[in-house]
Amino acid sequence: MNTLVFLGAAIIMVPLVKKMGLSSVIGYIIGGIIIGPFVLQLSGNDASGVMHATEFGVVMLLFLVGLELDPNKFWGMRRKILGLGLSQVGLTILILYGIFLLSDWEKDQALVVAMCFSLSSTAIVLQTLREKNMFSTSAGEASFLTLLFQDIAVIPILALLPIIAKRDVSLDDDSKYLIQMLPEWAQSFSLIIGISMLILLGRYVFVPFLRYVSRSGMSELLTASSLFLIIGVSELMTAVGLSPALGAFLAGIMLANSEFRNELESNIEPFKGLLLAVFFVSVGAMMNFHVIYQDYIFISTMVIVVLVVKFLVLFIIGKVFKLELLQNFFFAFALSQVGEFAFVLLSFSSKIFLIDKELYSQLMAVTAITMCITPIFLIIYDKLISRKIPPKQNSDQPFNILDSEIPQKKIIIVGFGHFGSTVEDY
């Protein structure tokens, strides 16, 4: 029932905000707030459960991005990934940690929250880049590479939390990790083991499997196979203690040069869009206005501190990497929020008693608010900053991160169906 309500909110609100010239993300979030427990109370008590289920939309989104990347280009960008991502995550953690210590927080608590808040929203930023067609710009590349490093950084952060808590953490009964079956000395190499397994599967299993399915001539089987591969890769990455989003991205890269690239993209796109829509609606539905009202001074202060610190860190990094001013503003605005992985990390931190329940509720509200504010920042960028700062010639496309160099040639589409009969020769 919740999913039905969430989809209804998206269907009603998104066309309204699009008519106003706003991003679809704003419509999803506003729709979630309206159906949430503090307005119409239609979302029930399981908004967090719906969000967890629809995080698979982020996994699909990264799979599609991986499909569009040339593997050689990806390997060539490894230094930029480390440079942009490591500097952003490291500086943000350091500054926020210092601010929290000056505010008389406990050391462990300050470090944990700083690590959680150093991450940005992959779902919001990549959706925005797609809507604005900005993947091939310098700001788009910087945003994507920074987010990719952040997705990788989730792995060591999850590993560090039990160490900071100074306690052994037993996994839930339904979370049986293959990594536990490895010797202790090998568990620290889970990243290498997981990626190596994925590369072997991509080279010797994925493409032959898709060829076998395609021989049936049934398009619905290929769609089912696409979903099967993504779900399987996500489960495999989870089983070895890695991020499913990272696994899906690498799987996409493995298939980027295959003959199934375009068909996989067309099959996955509708499911990705649907799940992402419900995910954004669930962000709005999770806005706990009761907690915000009770602690509005603390929460509003935290929101301002986090947004300002992350904006300044991102803007400085953009300067160091020589982003043009207009592109640098977009880069800093787009990634200044706290990301969806913070929900997972904060929940885990609460379970191992690194943060208490009251602080957990407050930090969850801070995370949701920053995600809701990001579309507003992008409106400010579009309506004010981009109009006052003229872009430099050719400054917006120096990298071409995606493999989109398609030769511009005239084509003839021949066919007797509805599509072929209505397309004219260019």
For residues 386-403, average pLDDT: 57
Q: Dump pLDDT digits (tens) for 243-262.
A: 677 777 778 877 877 777 77
Which of the residue ranges 159-168, 263-272, 366-375 would you say has the lowest mean pLDDT? 159-168
Q: What is the 3-state secondary structure (H, E, C) of 191-241?
A: HHHHHHHHHHHHHHHHHHHHHHHHCCCCHHHHHHHHHHHHHHHHHHHHHCC
Q: Is residue 21 part of a domain?
A: no
Q: What is the DSSP letter of 175?
A: -
Q: Is residue 277 part of a domain?
A: no
Q: Which long-range contacts (CB under 8 A, 24 or more apart) does 359-365 make?
A: 359/109, 361/288, 361/291, 362/291, 362/295, 362/298, 362/299, 362/302, 363/113, 363/116, 363/302, 364/286, 364/288, 364/291, 365/287, 365/288, 365/291, 365/292, 365/295, 365/299
Winning range, highest mean pLDDT, from 10-14, 152-156, 199-203, 306-310: 306-310
Q: Is residue 371 part of a domain?
A: yes
Residue 347 has pLDDT above 60, yes or no: yes
How many other CB atoms are found less than 10 A from the CB of residue 154? Answer: 21
Q: Is residue 426 part of a domain?
A: no
Record the pTM.
Answer: 0.70
Torsion sign over Cα 112, 344, 330, 302: negative
Q: Is residue 13 part of a domain?
A: no
- What span, in angstroms and rounded, lies between the C-alpha atoms of 230 and 59? 8
Residue 306 has pLDDT above 90, yes or no: yes
Which residue reads 């990806």 in tokens? 74
For residues 58-68, average pLDDT: 74
- Per the structure, the count of domains in the chain is 1
Return the higher-pLDDT residue of 259 and 176. Answer: 259
Residue 189: band (very low, low, confident or very high) from pLDDT cuts 50, 70, 90: low
Residue 90: band (very low, low, confident or very high) from pLDDT cuts 50, 70, 90: very high
Q: Is 46 exposed, middle or buried (0-12, 13-18, 19+ CB in 10 A)?
A: middle
Q: Is residue 280 part of a domain?
A: no
Helix or strand or coil: residue 280?
helix
Encoded tokens for 262: 């375009």
Q: What pLDDT was estimated at residue 52?
A: 58
Q: Is residue 46 part of a domain?
A: no
Cβ neighbors of 55 (< 8 A, separation 6 or more) are 279, 340
Average pLDDT value over all residues in the chain: 77
Instruction: Give the CATH number for residue 293.
Output: 1.20.1530.20
Owning domain of residue 105:
52-268+288-420
Return the higher-pLDDT residue of 11 and 89. Answer: 89
Q: What pLDDT was estimated at residue 355?
A: 87
Q: Is residue 274 part of a domain?
A: no
Let me know: does 207 contact 255? Beta carbons within 8 Å: yes
Residue 310: band (very low, low, confident or very high) from pLDDT cuts 50, 70, 90: very high
Let me know: does 128 contact 23? Beta carbons within 8 Å: yes
